Amino acid sequence: MCAAARQETADPNESSDFTYSRGTLLPDTAADLAKLRCAWAHIRRRREAGGPDALYVMSGLERRLSLPDGLDEDLCDDEIAAALYTDEVRELGLEHLGGDPARHDLIVVNRTTAGLLLAADVIVRPGQSVLGVSPSYSHPAVLRAVAHAGGRHCGGTPRDAWDYIRQHGAPDVIFLTRLAVTYDILDQHDIEEFVQFARAGSIPVILDDAGGGRVGPVCFGQPRSLELGVDVAVTGLDKYGVLGPRLGLLGGDATIVASIRSRAYEMGLEARQALLPAVAHSLRSYSDRAVRDRVDITQRVVRALAQRLGDDLARSNEIIGFLPAGEIMRAVKERAGTDEDFQIVPYEATAALAMVLLRDYGIMTVHFAGVPPGTADLLIKFLPPDTVARFGGPDALAEAFDRSLDRLGDILPDREATRKLLFDPAC
């Protein structure tokens, strides 16, 4: 977060977008991608040896291409799918976002990040001030979107935002995040206050509702995205209760969406229309119950982890669990019986834990789904109940985490061994 009086233009190529230190083993996105290739090698090896049952997707995300049974493959063509599914997807998507077909429109883009980028590109003008409001801090994708548009981003909690307004006056644009990367929720009262403030001053409001588009209404009884009165809202079709694929759903004021659609096609950021049958299937199949079930099993897993690892290491809020990166480092040092510096940063310890869980147990955490991750912590969120059961249940997962931390006690004290773990699939 930046302090209320601080303004900055985020550099989309700098790691300063993050709230955590990147270290020297994983200093940038290129290193994250190299780490991901090592993870893919472990995935291939496990699948070749044990088939699909050797892998456990526990990222909390749905990134499959799920199509209705019996779908004619000829329909998965850009032109044909666009002709047959555009209207249905618009209707289903606006219903999902709480939009009004008389005032709002919708476009499917190739990622949530693409939707944020497009919204900023169309709404933010070079040199304008953009106030990010979040329960904790704006996702790096928001900072990069503002930077790409030439804006000056300052953000933080609602309190930080009001301090900024008192010191500097009204911003040109407000960028709300309902559910932060920390999985804290923005209070409904705060959302209403900022939207009302924006309306009084004719200030455009963009809503980053990547996961909040479902978690807010289902878990906290809040209105749906466009019912909040924002100009544009972006959510992800790989998050919580939907079936995927990994696309972004952008809805909002019809005039603004028309400009965003044009920009998307110019920049190649629109979703391929051949995927529209999958989008329609995903939206038709959406279930509030699926969100609640995932929250429930996640909390059960976190309780098992806390019982096995301790409350300091396994923490939770109302919806997810997480292992703080600093506590992962501390726990490994305890198991290694040393206070010496590992010559890595906590984020790299998290990456190492995620790699051991994948290599040794086939557990695919969200650490390998978000590149680069928005947090240094290892998140445990929206776990699929059937996958947890197939692994053996919450206690079996807790045992796998415990043993993986033990293994890191032999690896992290040796910087070269840590490097090989992250980048060499033979290790």
Per residue in 116-157, pLDDT (tens digit) is: 999 999 999 999 999 999 999 999 999 999 999 999 999 899
Mean pLDDT of the chain, nearest integer: 94
Q: What is the CA radius of gyration of the chain?
A: 22
DSSP 3-state assignment of 240? coil
Residue 182 is classified by DSSP as: T
What the block records as the tokens of 12 is 């989309």
Q: How far apart are CA 122 and CA 250, in angstroms?
A: 13
Spatial contact of 94 and 280, defined as CB atoms under 8 Å apart: no
Residue type, 21: S
Spatial contact of 401 and 305, defined as CB atoms under 8 Å apart: yes
pTM of the model: 0.91
Q: How far apart are CA 304 and CA 354, in angstroms?
A: 18
What the block records as the tokens of 254 is 């019809």
Question: Which of the residues in the chain have pLDDT under 70?
Answer: 1-16
Q: What's the pLDDT at 16?
A: 58
